Amino acid sequence: METTPSIPEPKTLVEAVRYFADAERTHDLAVKLRWPNGVHCPACGVVGEVRYFVATSKNRKTGKETPRRLFECKARKADGKLCKRQFTVKTGSIFEDSALPLDVWFVAIWAVANCKNGISSYELARATGVSQKSAWFMLHRIRVAMDAGGLTTKFGGIVESDESYVGGKAENMHAKKRKERITGSAANDKTPVMGLLQRGDGTVHSRVHARVIRDANKKNIQAMVRANVEPGSTLFTDSLLSYRGLSADYFHAFVNHSVEYVRGHVHSNGIENFWSLLKRSIKGTYVSVDPHHLQAYVGEQVFRFNERKDDDRGRFLSVLGAVSGKRLTWKDLTNHDLSAAY
C-alpha cells in the first residue's frame, strides 16, 4: 500500500504554478491520491489491473499536440471477455470532461484551499492563463469537493447557534433576478445563512457547520439545530424567540444583544467571528455573490475554517481527497431558477 506522497510546500500562488507545471509529476500525484490502493476501473470496478499509456491528441486548428494520459482495464469480465475500458484520472471526479490540464486544476485547488479569503476567477485566470469563464467554472467545481454537505457526526458539548444575512449587489445580477430583488424589501436583498459552531476544548478546535436557508424562521432554525446538534448539548444563542421549544432537548442559554453581548461563557462570539470571516472574503475577493451560488462560498469558508489548524499541504490534500464521485456540469451551475436556490 502506498503512502500519501510527500510534496514540498509551495508558499505562494506563483510557486504552486511552478511546482505543478511538471505534468508527469502532477499526474502521478493525482493517481496516488485518487486511488491509493491501485487504479480503480470505473466500468468493472477491478483494482490495479490496468495498462497505462500516453496518447497524443492534436488540435485541428492549431496543430498543437497534447499528451493524454490514459488507463485501459485489462481485467476479464464474467463472460470471459476483456473489460478494455479506457479512462483517465479525471473520470468520475470533479475534473471529468474538463479540457484544462491537471496542473491548472492543482494550482486552483492549492489557491482556493489556502488563500485566507479565497481567490477570484479573475486572479486565477491571470495566474494560469485560462479564461475567466473557465476559471470561474473550475472554482465552482472545486467548491463542490470542498463542501462536505451534512455533518457526519452531530455537534455536541457547547454549540453556538446564529443566523446571518449575506447580501449581493443588485447590479451584478441578471435583469430578471434584479427585478425580483428590487421589488422586494431591503431585507429581501440579503440571503439568510444559519450557522452552528461547536466549541473547542484543550484538544479539539472549534468547528462550524453553516447552510444557506430559505427563510430564517423558527421552523427552519429549529430543524437545523435538531438535525445537527446532539440532544443534551448546551446551546448558546443571542435571542430567545426562534429557539423557544428546544429546551426540552437542549440546555439553552442566551444573551440579549440589546442589553449585553457576553455573560460569562454564554456568548456567540465564535460563530460571529466566522460570519465576519465569511463577509470579509465575499466582499474583498468576490465583491458580490449571486444567492444561487452563496452556499458554495459558505462551504468554501467552512472548509478553510474547519481545516485552519492544518498546513497548506494538508488542506490541499484534503480537497483532493474529496474530488471523486462528485460532478458539477456547466448546466447545473448556470441554468437555475432563483426561487429554487435557497
Cα–Cα distance, 201 to 251 (Å, whole number)? 18
Task: Compose the 229-258 pattern: x for residues touching Zn ion by CB under 5 A, - for all others.
Answer: ------------------------------
**Identity of the residue, 87 or 297, whose beta carbon is nearer to Zn ion in the bound complex:** 87
Asked if residue 120 lies in contact with residue 40, where contact means CB atoms within 8 angstroms, the answer is no
Q: How far is the CB of 24 from Zn ion (least distance, A)?
A: 24
Q: How far is the CB of 67 from Zn ion (least distance, A)?
A: 23
Cα 159 from chain centroid? 23
Residues between 80 and 109 that touch Zn ion (CB under 5 A): 83, 85
Cα–Cα distance, 112 to 146 (Å, whole number)? 9
Q: How far is the CB of 202 from Zn ion (least distance, A)?
A: 49
Q: How far is the CB of 50 from Zn ion (least distance, A)?
A: 8
Cα–Cα distance, 23 to 138 (Å, whole number)? 18
Residues between 210 and 229 that touch Zn ion (CB under 5 A): none
Q: Residue 274: which of 313, 300, 247 has the closest Cα? A: 300
How many chain residues are in contact with Zn ion, going by CB under 5 A? 7
Site stretch for Zn ion (CB under 5 A), options 70-78, 92-100, 265-273, 319-327:
70-78
Site stretch for Zn ion (CB under 5 A), options 75-83, 152-160, 163-171, 198-206:
75-83
Q: How far is the CB of 84 from Zn ion (least distance, A)?
A: 7
Q: Which three cell numbers stand for residue 283?
A: 466582499
**Identity of the residue, 37 or 258, whose beta carbon is nearer to Zn ion in the bound complex:** 37
Instruction: Give the count of beta carbons closer than 10 Å to the beta carbon of residue 132.
Output: 14
Site stretch for Zn ion (CB under 5 A), options 74-82, 92-100, 113-121, 291-299:
74-82
**Identity of the residue, 32 or 74, whose beta carbon is nearer to Zn ion in the bound complex:** 74
Q: How far is the CB of 146 from Zn ion (least distance, A)?
A: 30
Asked if residue 220 lies in contact with residue 144, where contact means CB atoms within 8 angstroms, the answer is no
Q: Residue 71: which of 38, 107, 22 has the closest Cα? A: 38
Contact call for residue 13 and Zn ion (CB under 5 A): no
Q: Which three cell numbers stand for residue 239?
A: 435571542
SS (H, E, C) 58-119: ECCCCCCEEEEEEEEECCECCCCCECCCEECCCCCECCCCCCCCHHHHHHHHHHHHHCCCCC
Asked if residue 204 lies in contact with residue 219, where contact means CB atoms within 8 angstroms, the answer is no
Contact call for residue 166 and Zn ion (CB under 5 A): no
**Identity of the residue, 51 or 257, whose beta carbon is nearer to Zn ion in the bound complex:** 51
Site stretch for Zn ion (CB under 5 A), options 36-44, 93-101, 178-186, 313-321:
36-44
Q: How far is the CB of 26 from Zn ion (least distance, A)?
A: 25
Q: How far is the CB of 78 from Zn ion (least distance, A)?
A: 12
Contact call for residue 73 and Zn ion (CB under 5 A): yes
Q: How far is the CB of 72 from Zn ion (least distance, A)?
A: 9
Q: What's the helix, strand, coil split of the chain in %, to 5? A: 40, 20, 40
Cα–Cα distance, 35 to 48 (Å, whole number)? 9
Pairing relationship of beta strands 158-167 and 234-237 according to DSSP bridges: parallel
**Identity of the residue, 43 or 266, whose beta carbon is nearer to Zn ion in the bound complex:** 43
Cα–Cα distance, 100 to 90 (Å, whole number)? 11
Residues between 37 and 56 that touch Zn ion (CB under 5 A): 41, 43-44
**Identity of the residue, 83 or 119, whose beta carbon is nearer to Zn ion in the bound complex:** 83
Residues that bind Zn ion (CB under 5 A): 41, 43-44, 73, 75, 83, 85
